[in-house]
Amino acid sequence: MSETEELLLRRLQEQEERLVFERFELDDAWQLGSLLVRLAGERSLPVAIDIRRGTQQVFHAALAGSTADNDHWIVRKVRVVERFAASSYLVGRRLAAKGEALDAKYGVDPADYATHGGAFPVRVRGAGVVGVVTVSGLPQADDHALVVQAIEAHLAR
């Protein structure tokens, strides 16, 4: 593993350890989703945004330039977070650093799972992962960064 890969993995792991909610109710999902829409809209980003609490989709928005394909990517990324309790980007980068592929290692269909950045676990202190926040439409590092920026801002309030 290169030094660059190692630094990225450490940064991604640190984000997951740091970005923990005290609670995550429907109003939190609405506020976080609305913040993501505002951040993406200010930059004219062609993204779809999805927030789930448990198995329920509690927020969804499609901004100008996004397509139905983004919704398919969201579902595939969410499955990775639900299965591994880690961001889709972290799971993908861990596998890449080892030269492994999700389908070969875990026997899953790549049509159903995507280890591309953009889906981040909603972790509540004392309860574990209770949901997923996902953005799709940008390069994977940018999808991930937008979600992290919004969660950081939401938790800072």
* pLDDT tens per residue across span 131-144: 999 999 999 999 99
At residue 44, φ and ψ (nearest 5 deg) are 55, 45
Q: pLDDT value at position 142?
A: 98
How far does CA 28 lie from the centroid of its chain? 16
Task: Indicate if the pLDDT at residue 1 is higher than 70.
Answer: no
- How many domains does the chain contain in total? 1
- Please tell me the distance from the alpha carbon of residue 131 to that of residue 144, in angstroms, as a whole number: 16
Confidence (pTM): 0.96
Q: pLDDT value at position 113?
A: 97
Average pLDDT, the chain: 96
Residue-level length of the chain = 157
Q: pLDDT value at position 72?
A: 97
What mean pLDDT do residues 25-29 have? 97
Task: Indicate if the pLDDT at residue 3 is higher than 90.
Answer: no
Q: pLDDT value at position 2?
A: 82
Domain CATH code at residue 104: 3.30.450.150
* pLDDT tens per residue across span 54-110: 999 999 999 999 999 999 999 999 999 999 999 999 999 999 999 999 999 899 999
- Please tell me the distance from the alpha carbon of residue 50 to that of residue 59, in angstroms, as a whole number: 6
The CA-CA-CA angle for residues 147, 152, 153, to 5°, reads 100
Domain boundaries, position 14: 3-156
